[in-house]
Amino acid sequence: MADKTYIAFDPRYYVDASIRAEPAFDLFEEDKKILAFRLGKLEEWIEQRKSILQDNLDHVDHDICTIDTEVDRATAAEPYDPKQVHDLEKTLVGLEMQKRLEQVNAFKDMWLVEKEILETVKQYQRLERMEQLTK
């Protein structure tokens, strides 16, 4: 029997040199696995950001409802205190601004992640084309 030589592709896995696979194919597969994992993580991050946005908006909406109720009580109260109503309305405007700011920040965060997703998909497709060319 002839002496066999083995080539290491992975320290835990050795392949007989006579049965060796195309090294470029192995590289493409590994890169594709990494890109697929990256896509999954990016999609997770978008879902988490949507969840955080919804939680934050729910809290701000709750605070808006609470302040709005206080404004209604203050305007109906005897004696009428215009300073208190003004302060409550100012707080209400601040909460509305906070809500818009949260939506804008979430849009920016998700836009950046979606941009990264598109770039990752392009890289994956580029690898697919390269793999097809090497076959």
Q: Are 57 and 103 in contact (CB under 8 A)?
A: yes
C-alpha 115, offset from chain centre: 10
pLDDT 10s digits, 55-67: 999 999 999 999 9
Contact yes or no for 123/56 (Cβ under 8 A): no
Please tell me the predicted confidence (pLDDT) of residue 16. 47
**First and final CA of the chain: distance in angstroms?**
32
Consecutive H or E run containing 6 = strand 6-10
**Token pair 């302060």 is at which residue?**
87
Whole-Å CA distances, 13 to 9, 26, 27, 37: 7, 13, 15, 22
Q: What is the pLDDT of residue 41?
A: 92
- DSSP designation for 16: E
pLDDT at 132: 84
Find where tokens 């909406």 sit. Answer: 61
Whole-number pLDDT of residue 25: 54
Question: Which tokens hold the place of 18?
Answer: 């006579």
pTM for this model (two decimals): 0.70
Strands (E), 58-132: none
